[in-house]
Structures are given as C-alpha cells and as structure tokens.
C-alpha cells in the first residue's frame, strides 16, 4: 500500500488528459433481493467446473488470511510504459508499473467519464507487484502499511493505487469523483475508513480493486466490503439485483471438488471463485 507524498516530479505525463469518447455512468440504481429462487424459465446447460476455479476470478478474496494460489494471477499483465496505446487520459508514477490490459481498459473508460465532469488529473502509482517486490515493500513499510508477499491484492493484478497530479487523494477532485462513481465501472474502494476492523487495513483513499459489474454497485449500495459481500453471498446462496436497468442473478456454489454446474444456455454468465471454498456464478438475464 503506497502512501501518497511528494512524488509529482516523478510523474510520467504521457497520456494525461481525457478521452472525448467518455461513457455515461450506467449503474446508478441497484435493487437487491436476497433468499430468492430463480423466477426465470431459461434453457440451461451443464458445465464442468474444476476445484481450482475457487482460486480464480475477479471476486477472489486476498487478505492476511487468504493468500494467492497458483494460477490466480491475471494472465494479461503488461508494463504500461511499453504500451502507450493503453495510456489514455492518465499518467504514470514511473516506468515500471504493470497491470492487466483488461483492467487498464476499464480504468481508461472510467477516467474518460470523469473527464466529462472536468476531473482529469489521474495517475496510477502502483499496480501489479511480484512477490519479491511485495516482500521488499513489507519489510520497508511494516504491517501497518503493507501485507506479506502473496497476501496483497497487488500480487493478483486486479488492484491499483490511483492518485492525482493536483494533490493528495484525500483532498483531490479525483478522489472525490472515484468515491462516488468508481463502482459504476466495476471498481471498489477496497479499504474504507469505517471498515478497518473488517479489512484489517487502515483507510487507503487511493487503493481500488476491480471486481466488475454488478458486484461493485451492489457493494457500494449496500455499503459492503468484499469480505462482507462474499459472506452475504455464502449465506443467501442466491440474490437477484437490478443494476443500470439490467437484471442479474448471482449464485454461490460450495466447491469441495470438481463439480458440474447448471448455467443458462442462452444468457451470458461469468464464473469467479471466492478463494475460500466457493464459486460464484453471475448471470445477466
């Protein structure tokens, strides 16, 4: 977890500004129904899901209790400075920052939307870190500011530290905008100020995690951390949510071994493990 200090002189301003093709916020309203049975009559098919799916996906929990497993790390990680085509509307703190291309694309869409609101001084301070890099940071910063190697979301590739070239994120327009709108684009503020007893990490206004829609909007509307959201899914087994006019059905499936799951034959769906003992199926109806 990087602390924001006097670092603007090191900012690489390539790509700063905003995209004119900004997307409008789509996920303004959420209606969540718990303890439901599927009310949609749809054709289904059976898929085989291996036990290692528990440790893969955008919803896996990485913290001091749950470490990254082999195969959990996002596959499309690149060094951003070497891919200038990805630097759309934001700057980099240094030339070494790495992230999955898919996460950068979601981030760029979000930054473009912020630009339409006149908020356009975003920076990425940190992205993916190797275990070696995380271990060094842990030794330098200590347990109050970092997690051991393998227990940090930065080792996964779905977390990034976001800053502003204007001022610290506590006070910057970029920080305020993200608090309100990041969930609309699949990102959550991972370590909120009033949830430190749950996350085990002090408030970090710069640390955001990609979990994808509709989960990010549900979490924000219900004021849930990732830990709380996964507990809620495990408790209720199935929830239905309306987000931005789309209806989603989200089911939790306990996985002790390879299994067969029923999924819609004609609707899109996504699988994600929780990194504990379950697989979440998200269906867009």
Closest to 80 (Cα-Cα) out of 124, 17, 130, 119 = 124
Portion of the chain with pLDDT greater than 70, in percent = 88
* pLDDT at site 31: 80
Would you state the CATH architecture of domain 70-210? Answer: 2-Layer Sandwich (3.30)
Please check the confidence at residue 37 and state whether its pLDDT lies above 60.
yes
* pLDDT at site 10: 31
- Dump pLDDT digits (tens) for 143-157: 877 889 999 999 999
Phi-psi category of residue 223: left, alpha or beta, with phi > 0 → left and psi -120 to 50 → alpha: left
Mean pLDDT across the stretch 219-232? 97
User: Which segments of 57-205 does DSSP mark as H helices, in order?
Assistant: 101-116, 131-141, 173-181, 196-199
pTM of the predicted model, to two decimals?
0.89
Domain boundaries, the chain: 28-59+223-285, 70-210
* pLDDT at site 217: 97
Same fold, 28-59+223-285 and 70-210: no
- Dump pLDDT digits (tens) for 84-133: 999 999 999 999 999 999 999 999 999 999 999 999 999 999 999 999 99
Q: Which residue has the higher pLDDT, 47 or 11?
A: 47
Cα–Cα distance measured from residue 114 to residue 89, given in angstroms and rounded to the nearest whole number: 10
Q: What is the pLDDT of the chain when averaged over all its residues?
A: 89
* pLDDT at site 30: 72
Please check the confidence at residue 239 and state whether its pLDDT lies above 90.
yes
pLDDT grade for 40, boundaries at 50, 70 and 90: low
Under 8 Å between Cβ of 101 and 126: no
Closest to 201 (Cα-Cα) out of 179, 226, 183, 221 = 226
- Dump pLDDT digits (tens) for 19-33: 223 334 455 667 888
Cα–Cα distance measured from residue 204 to residue 191, given in angstroms and rounded to the nearest whole number: 6
The CATH class of the 28-59+223-285 domain is alpha beta
* pLDDT at site 146: 83
Active site residues: 204
DSSP 93: S
Residue 194 CB coordination number (10 Å): 9
* pLDDT at site 120: 96
Cα–Cα distance measured from residue 82 to residue 183, given in angstroms and rounded to the nearest whole number: 28
Q: Which backbone phi and psi does 236 adopt, to 5 degrees?
A: -95, -15
* pLDDT at site 155: 96
* pLDDT at site 229: 98
């Amino acid at each position: 977890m990087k602390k924001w200090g006097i670092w603007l002189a090191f900012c690489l301003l390539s790509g700063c500004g905003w995209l004119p093709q900004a997307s409008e916020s789509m996920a303004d309203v959420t209606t969540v129904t718990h303890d439901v049975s599927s009310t949609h009559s749809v054709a289904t098919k059976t898929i085989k899901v291996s036990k290692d799916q528990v440790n893969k996906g955008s919803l896996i929990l990485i913290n001091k209790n749950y470490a990254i497993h082999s195969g959990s790390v996002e596959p499309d990680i690149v060094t951003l400075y070497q891919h200038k085509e990805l630097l759309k509307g934001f700057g980099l703190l240094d030339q070494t920052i790495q992230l999955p291309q898919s996460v950068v694309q979601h981030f760029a869409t979000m930054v473009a939307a912020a630009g339409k609101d006149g908020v356009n001084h975003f920076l990425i301070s940190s992205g993916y870190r190797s275990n070696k890099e995380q271990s060094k940071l842990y030794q330098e910063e200590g347990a109050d500011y970092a997690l051991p190697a393998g227990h940090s979301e930065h080792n996964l590739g779905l977390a990034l530290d976001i800053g502003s070239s204007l001022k610290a994120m506590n006070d910057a327009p970029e920080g305020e905008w993200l608090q309100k709108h990041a969930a609309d684009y699949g990102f959550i503020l991972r370590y909120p100020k009033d949830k430190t007893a749950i996350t085990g990490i002090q408030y970090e206004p710069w640390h955001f995690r990609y979990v994808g829609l509709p989960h990010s909007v549900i979490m924000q509307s219900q004021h849930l951390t990732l830990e709380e959201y996964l507990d809620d899914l495990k408790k209720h087994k199935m929830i239905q949510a309306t987000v931005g006019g789309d209806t989603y059905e989200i089911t939790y499936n306990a996985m002790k071994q390879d299994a067969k799951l029923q999924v819609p034959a004609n609707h899109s769906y996504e699988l994600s493990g929780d990194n504990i003992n379950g697989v979440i199926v998200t269906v867009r109806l």
